[in-house]
Amino acid sequence: MDPTILMDETKLDTFRELNLLEKHRVESFKDWPFSAKSTCSIGKMAEAGFYWTGTKRENDTATCFVCAKTLDGWESEDDPWKEHLKHAPQCEFIKLGCPEKDLTVEQFLKIFCTVVNSNIEKNIKQFKSKFVKDNESKLDEFTHMLS
Amino acid sequence: MPRTKITKNSKRNREAANREEKIRTYELKMDSVLMSIDDLEMRYKSMVDTQLQMITSRLQTELREMKMCDFLELLLTLEHFSDFKASDQTQHFGSQSMCSNTTNGGGASTNICAAATATSSRNDEGYLTEDSSLGGAISSNSVSTISAYTGSMLRSAKAMRTPGPLHSARARRERRSRSACGASKVLVNTSSTVASSSSSNALRNSRSKMRTPMASRPKAFSADRTPRLLKKRSSSPSTPPMAFLRWPKPGEVALSKFGSPIVSQVMPDKFANVNIPIRNGVLSLRPKKLSEIKADLLENLDADTLSQIKTLHENLQLIVNTANKAGFK
């Protein structure tokens, strides 16, 4: 099935930044070195849970939307599912081992729960490190000012 | 006479002390802020967990086990998960039971209206919901249209037969028959709305004038319902210790005069109570002795909910034990 089936954009766009849907993962690939015919085409990558985290210089970097495992150095004959399993066997998505269209709604909701929770974790971690850093620099300023 | 020169030093000392004090406060505040951030994180995560568990437990079996490819297509037509139940399921169920009633009645066109009314009385407990309005709408339609539809609808409806949202209705059937038609005084009030809005045509068409309209329309009046006279006290511990409630359908104004008790959005209860969301509604427990539990109510408990109840039970036990130790009576 074509993963980019027509969908009400506004309804699911909230989840775009979580790369929750295969459609959104496909659309995240702004650049990719492999053609649609190769075993790690954009479609296959998105199906196996990867979204693009590359840059112009390193355009073959992709990250799993559930376990956040980032892999680069792909080769055209790599199978994204196998690589995913090899590098992140603990991933909940790879444990289920089937593409989005074959998941049941219940399974998808579990995945969704994991993704949202790890997103919360990630954001809080980022916020905390920034917060601590900012405040430490202020403390430095304060102690230097007085000494 | 020389003075002791301490001012400058003491000032510096004071400043140093002040500075140290400030740094100490800073560290304390940092620690507490970081701790409250962790706390928030935990809270949000558990909120996500419980919300999703709620959604999952409230989902219909059919929807829960639906493949994502079908679901994503369906999503276009859905606003909430519960819309699935309200729009598709109930209507299929309603039309299906209507059709089967029609065929049971020999397919005679004069029976159709009565069958349609029977459907509404079977599916709703006396108030106007989609089912009854559906039945009512059809009963007021011309009879010939229905009989034309019946054949094809029966087939399609049978194919769509699913464990529907009206498990609740089925679960209570046993109790209903036991005490059915208890207070006829109450029934006059309830069915007047339904009868006038949905089945007035039906009555005219299919019933002889000699029959009492009320007697021909058996109405359930089960133990977990409170008559209107007791309505004001319905949320007090005087209601049964355990009752099965249902969630209001989207767009439904939850004003239940009769019928199965509805989970109201605001719980005005001033007494300790426990509400357990189960697959198709809510079990509401009140602080009153419970003698027996209907087994069919527990069929809708899944393993997760059961383990949550166990935890709740332990928590309650802990509260009781602690209170006992502290000497409360």
DSSP string, B162-186: -S-TTHHHHHTHHHHHHSTT--HHH
* Nearest CB to B76; choose among A8, A106, A128: A8
In this structure, are residues B190 and B210 in contact, taking their beta carbons and an 8 Å threshold? no
The helix/strand/coil state of B245 is strand
Report the alpha-carbon distance of residue B313 to residue B306 in Å, rounded.
Answer: 10
Report the alpha-carbon distance of residue B152 to residue B200 in Å, rounded.
Answer: 27
User: To the nearest whole percent, how much of chain B has pLDDT over 70?
Assistant: 39
Predicted confidence (pLDDT) at residue B218 exceeds the cutoff of 80: no
Report the alpha-carbon distance of residue B282 to residue B69 in Å, rounded.
Answer: 30
Predicted confidence (pLDDT) at residue B105 exceeds the cutoff of 80: no
DSSP state of A15: G
Q: Is A8 on the interface with B (CB under 8 A)?
A: yes
**Structure confidence at residue B148 (pLDDT):** 42
CA-nearest residue to B15 within chain A is A146
Q: Smallest Cα–Cα separation from A4: which of A33, A46, A40?
A: A46
**Structure confidence at residue A111 (pLDDT):** 92
| Strand ranges in A1-147 using DSSP code E only, listed in sequence order | 50-52, 62-64, 70-71
Max mean pLDDT among A138-142, B30-34, B60-64, B292-296 falls in: B30-34
Q: Smallest Cα–Cα separation from A21: which of A47, A60, A53, A39?
A: A47
The domain defined by A9-146 folds into Inhibitor Of Apoptosis Protein (2mihbC-IAP-1); Chain A (1.10.1170)
**Structure confidence at residue B81 (pLDDT):** 63
CA-nearest residue to A2 within chain B is B69
Q: Is B63 on the interface with A (CB under 8 A)?
A: yes
For the beta sheet containing A62-64, the strands, ordered from the edge strand earlier in sequence to the opposite edge, are A50-52, A62-64, A70-71
In this structure, are residues B280 and B168 in contact, taking their beta carbons and an 8 Å threshold? yes
Report the alpha-carbon distance of residue B150 to residue B98 in Å, rounded.
Answer: 9
Query: Looking at per-residue confidence, does B141 or A147 come out higher?
Result: A147
User: To the nearest whole percent, how much of chain A has pLDDT over 90?
Assistant: 61
Q: How far is A86 from chain B, CA to nearest CA, in Å?
A: 26
pLDDT (tens digit per residue) in B236-257: 444 566 666 776 666 766 666 6
Main-chain dihedrals φ then ψ at residue B186, nearest 5 degrees: -70, -40
Q: What share of chain B is helix, strand, coil (3-state, %, to 5)?
A: 60, 5, 35
In this structure, are residues B240 and B179 in contact, taking their beta carbons and an 8 Å threshold? no
- The token duo for B121 is 């009385």
Report the alpha-carbon distance of residue B103 to residue B217 in Å, rounded.
Answer: 20
**Structure confidence at residue A88 (pLDDT):** 94
Predicted confidence (pLDDT) at residue B91 exceeds the cutoff of 60: no
Q: What DSSP letter does each residue of B44-74 carry, written as one string?
A: HHHHHHHHHHHHHHHS-HHHHTSBHHHHHHH
- Chain B residues with CB inside 8 Å of A102's CB? 67-69
- The token duo for B193 is 């709305």
Q: Is A98 on the interface with B (CB under 8 A)?
A: no
Please report the sign of the dihedral spanned by the C-alpha atoms of residue B114, residue B117, residue B123, residue B126.
negative
Tokens 């709604």 sit on residue: A105
Predicted confidence (pLDDT) at residue B171 exceeds the cutoff of 60: no
pLDDT (tens digit per residue) in B113-164: 333 333 333 444 444 444 443 443 334 344 444 444 444 444 444 444 444 4
In this structure, are residues A92 and A84 in contact, taking their beta carbons and an 8 Å threshold? no
> With an 8 Å Cβ cutoff, are B49 and A113 in contact?
yes
**How large is the ipTM?**
0.80
Q: Is B19 on the interface with A (CB under 8 A)?
A: yes
Q: How far is A9 from chain B, CA to nearest CA, in Å?
A: 10
Q: How far is A100 from chain B, CA to nearest CA, in Å?
A: 6
Q: Is A108 on the interface with B (CB under 8 A)?
A: yes
Q: Within chain B, how many helices (H) and strands (E) appear? A: 14, 3
- Chain A residues with CB inside 8 Å of B56's CB? 106, 109
Q: How far is A116 from chain B, CA to nearest CA, in Å?
A: 8
Taking the CA atoms of chain A, what radius of gyration do you get in angstroms?
19
Across B88-98, average pLDDT: 41
In this structure, are residues B52 and A113 in contact, taking their beta carbons and an 8 Å threshold? yes
Taking the CA atoms of chain B, what radius of gyration do you get in angstroms?
30
Across B320-325, average pLDDT: 86
In this structure, are residues A23 and A6 in contact, taking their beta carbons and an 8 Å threshold? no
pLDDT (tens digit per residue) in B34-86: 999 999 999 999 999 999 998 888 888 888 888 888 888 777 776 666 666 54
* Nearest CB to A1; choose among B26, B63, B69: B69
> With an 8 Å Cβ cutoff, are A124 and B69 in contact?
no
In this structure, are residues B142 and B177 in contact, taking their beta carbons and an 8 Å threshold? no
Query: Lowest mean pLDDT: which of A125-129, B242-246, B265-269?
Result: B265-269
Query: Lowest mean pLDDT: which of A80-89, B175-184, B220-229?
Result: B175-184
In this structure, are residues B235 and B275 in contact, taking their beta carbons and an 8 Å threshold? no
**Structure confidence at residue B319 (pLDDT):** 87
Across B186-210, average pLDDT: 44
Strand-pairing partners, residue B276, are: B283
- The token duo for A53 is 């985290």
